[in-house]
Amino acid sequence: MSTMNMIEALNSAHQIVMERDDNVVTLGEDVGYFGGVFRVTAGLQKRFGKHRAFDTPIAESGIVGACVGMAAYGLRPVAEIQFADYIYPAIDQIVSEAARLRYRSSGDWPMPITIRSPYGGGIFGGQTHSQSPEALFAHVAGLKTVIPSTPYDAKGLLIAAIEDNDPVVFFEPKRIYNGPFEGFYDRPASPWSKHPASDVPEGYYAIPLGKAAVVRPGEAVTVLAYGTMVHVARATAEHLGVDAEVIDLRTIVPVDIETIEESVKKTGRCLVLHEATRTAGFGAELAALVQERCFYHLEAPVERVTGWDTPYPHSLEWAYFPGPVRLGLAFKKILEA
């Protein structure tokens, strides 16, 4: 075991799968020589060569389009989109090609593509470096969408994603790249500062996609979260003394509806927490699933705490985040209903 932050855990996952399988290649803007803007791919080119870890032009559609061709011919490409905000030029290749080819070919052409991207706020990146577009990809049949919350999960989930024969969009929360931060209930220190992370096995392990984790047991209310918001939920519940069961979804597609259903039927209440904007966010889908599966067990309407329906603010980033004040009010509302 080693103590790793999320960046180091993701780098370890890359090294392990590239060592195990010569067909795994990684590509993207600055991922080769420089090792990625967040250093997730640092050292890969030196270890595996320029033919397996290489830089691309600033052309996201071309990056993913090349991956489609590579995957069709037996490679397992891992593409880095430098920020989730830059992924939109590649939407056509992701949706119309990568997500469709297995179906279009009646299963003859699998698409083992992993598209990694830092996402969400936490570094004062403003409107073009802080978006959370997971709901767009959750809507697309044929894609899987993964969002880890810990270094341990990040490594195991990335290995599973790369080994999967279907395309996976893998979002990495920037706010906890070097964390999670101490004192998460309050505004943390600089997002670039180093903090203790978690114990991560140095060798190979994979975490199955589509399996949630109950990270805090409770009896009064179920909180569904993923990524950074898992830590916000846990810290707020502990600070306020709320007997909340916090479920880390890990993957939103496929979603572990069985674990969700079991928890909500036990607690009778459900709160959904995500950083992305509220309208048509993935929380709406979760609320619908809970209502369909657990209607007769619910003691209160499903509550949502989300980002605001506004372009991401720069100077007001911490006001945009769903935080302890808003979450505390939601706990009060749902528990007193």
Provide CATH code, domain 213-336: 3.40.50.920
Tell me which residue of 159, 176, 267 sits closest to 226, measured CA to CA. 176
What does the pLDDT look like over 230-250, one tens digit per residue? 999 999 999 999 999 999 999
- Could you tell me which residue, 185 or 334, shows the higher pLDDT? 334
% of the chain residues with pLDDT over 90? 85
Q: Backbone phi, then psi, for 118, in 5-degree steps?
A: -65, 140
Other beta carbons less than 10 A from residue 199's beta carbon: 11
Cβ neighbours of residue 316 closer than 8 Å, sequence gap 6 or more: none
What does the pLDDT look like over 265-304, one tens digit per residue? 999 999 999 999 999 999 999 999 999 999 999 999 999 9
Output DSSP code: residue 172.
Answer: E
User: Can you tell me whether residue 298 is helix, strand or coil?
Assistant: coil
Gap between the Cα atoms of 158 and 135, Å rounded: 20
- Could you tell me which residue, 315 or 90, shows the higher pLDDT? 90
Residue 189 has pLDDT above 50, yes or no: no
Task: Return the HEC string of 40-93.
Answer: CCCCHHHHHCCCCEEECCCCHHHHHHHHHHHHHCCCEEEEECCCHHHCHHHHHH
The pLDDT of 89-111, averaged and rounded, is 95
Give yes or no for a contact between 307 and 276, defined as CB atoms under 8 angstroms apart: yes
Q: Which pLDDT score is estimated for 127?
A: 82
Annotation marks residue 314 as catalytic: no
Q: DSSP secondary structure string, 95-125? A: IIIITTHHHHTTTSS----EEEEEESSSS--
Interior CA angle at 25 toward 129 and 254, to 5°? Answer: 65
Type of residue numbered 134? E
What does the pLDDT look like over 17-48, one tens digit per residue? 999 999 999 999 999 999 999 999 999 999 99
Provide CATH code, domain 2-200: 3.40.50.970
Task: Please tell me which residue in 14, 129, 231, 274 is annotated as part of the active site.
Answer: 129
Residue 193 has pLDDT above 70, yes or no: no
Tell me which residue of 160, 156, 157 sits closest to 147, measured CA to CA. 157
Cα Rg, the chain, nearest whole Å: 19
Per-domain boundaries in the chain: 2-200, 213-336
Provide the H-helix boundaries in the chain: 6-20, 44-48, 60-72, 91-92, 101-104, 134-138, 151-163, 228-240, 257-267, 282-294, 317-320, 324-336
Output DSSP code: residue 10.
Answer: H
Q: Do domains 2-200 and 213-336 have the same CATH topology?
A: yes
Q: Backbone phi, then psi, for 136, in 5-degree steps?
A: -60, -40
pLDDT band (50, 70, 90) for residue 315 = confident
Q: Which pLDDT score is estimated for 182?
A: 47
